[in-house]
Amino acid sequence: MPENTRIAYLNEYRHAVAKNDLPRQLEIQLAAIDLDQADPDGPRLMDEIRGLHQLAAA
């Protein structure tokens, strides 16, 4: 998957989280799963999305 597509998905997901738009968040997560399955050797977009909800290590 092209890097600009990954960045677009992550930006859109962040925007949906900021707006508390749960249906859009789910749509993006499902699309991320499909993209990850289509490119099993590439970096996993779903892992990056999950990482947005993790507290940063100090």
State pLDDT tens for residues 14-23: 999 999 999 9
Q: What pLDDT score was predicted for residue 44?
A: 94
Angle, helices 3-18 vs 22-38, to 10°: value is: 160
**What 3-state class would DSSP assign to 8?**
helix
Domain boundary assignment for the chain: 3-51
Helices (H), the chain: 3-18, 22-38, 45-51
Between CA 9 and CA 2 the distance in angstroms is: 11
Between CA 1 and CA 57 the distance in angstroms is: 28
37 or 57, higher pLDDT: 37
